[in-house]
């Protein structure tokens, strides 16, 4: 039986060992051959190609494309049709892998920039150039924002609240600037319950003409 052939990143021997460890216990896998620098992995045995692909993506968080499922191919088409089919497949698969890699790289870059800005107290301008005018936001003081790891957990709890559109973190000041349409008192209480941290409302955006602020004015603590 032909081996399963997969296309994915294999930068070094360490990557190869991680790939082998991730799939060697799948039923039907008898051998795993990562080709360092070629972006190719061959899996021998009777395992299901889709199961192997899913396990690799789950464990390694990398995009994986199935080049061959290991099933005997159908009769070869005419030479011209075969070339056209191969060209179409290669273009589609290469584009999919490239887009996945670019998307992952952008996400990591954005998170690194956010971390740098949070640690620096919001003085880093993401993307370079002059900073865009900040939208009206509610300012929360969160107890014990020791590091970026702590800040990410609290930010996640804030972002999950209905109406929140953006959260900016200032770790040295223990502050979070929250943009969106929501009740500040309810948000502070929700974050306190989820994170077990004390949450103070430092300020809320001024009320629009003819309206009233969602959480009142001044500084208050979530009950």
pLDDT digits (tens, 9 = 90+) for 107-152: 777 777 776 766 666 543 334 444 444 567 899 999 888 788 888 8
Work out the angle between the directed axes of helices 79-119 and 148-159 (0-180°, nearest 10). 110
d(C-alpha 176, C-alpha 167), whole Å: 7
Which residues make Cβ contacts (< 8 Å) with residue 62, sequence separation at least 6?
8, 9, 56, 104
Query: What would the pLDDT profile of 151-208 be if each residue is shown by its tens digit?
Result: 888 889 999 999 999 888 888 888 889 999 999 999 999 999 998 989 999 999 887 6
Query: What would the pLDDT profile of 16-43 be if each residue is shown by its tens digit?
Result: 888 998 898 898 899 999 998 888 899 9
d(C-alpha 12, C-alpha 23), whole Å: 17
Average pLDDT, the chain: 78
Q: ∠ CA(22), CA(25), CA(31), 5° rounding? A: 85
Q: In order of start, what are the domains of the chain with their CATH numbers?
A: 4-115 (3.30.70.100), 137-221 (3.30.70.100)
d(C-alpha 114, C-alpha 170), whole Å: 10
């Amino acid at each position: 039986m032909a081996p399963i052939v997969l296309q994915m990143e294999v930068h070094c021997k360490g990557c190869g060992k991680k790939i082998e460890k991730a799939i060697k216990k799948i039923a039907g896998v008898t051998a795993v051959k990562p080709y360092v620098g070629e972006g190719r992995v061959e899996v021998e045995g009777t395992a299901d190609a889709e199961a192997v692909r899913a396990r690799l993506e789950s464990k390694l968080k990398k995009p994986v494309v199935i080049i061959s499922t290991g099933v005997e191919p159908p009769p070869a088409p005419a030479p011209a049709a075969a070339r056209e089919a191969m060209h179409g497949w290669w273009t589609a698969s290469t584009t999919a892998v490239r887009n996945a890699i670019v998307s992952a790289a952008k996400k990591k870059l954005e998170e690194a920039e956010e971390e740098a800005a949070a640690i620096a107290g919001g003085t880093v301008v993401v993307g370079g150039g002059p900073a865009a005018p900040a939208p009206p936001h509610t300012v929360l003081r969160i107890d014990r924002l020791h590091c970026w790891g702590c800040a990410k957990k609290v930010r996640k709890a804030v972002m999950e609240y209905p109406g929140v559109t953006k959260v900016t973190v200032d770790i040295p000041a223990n502050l979070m600037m929250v943009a969106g349409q929501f009740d500040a008192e309810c948000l502070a209480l929700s974050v306190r319950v989820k994170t077990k941290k004390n949450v103070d409302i430092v300020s809320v955006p001024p009320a629009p003409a003819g309206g009233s602020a969602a959480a009142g004015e001044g500084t208050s603590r979530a009950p």
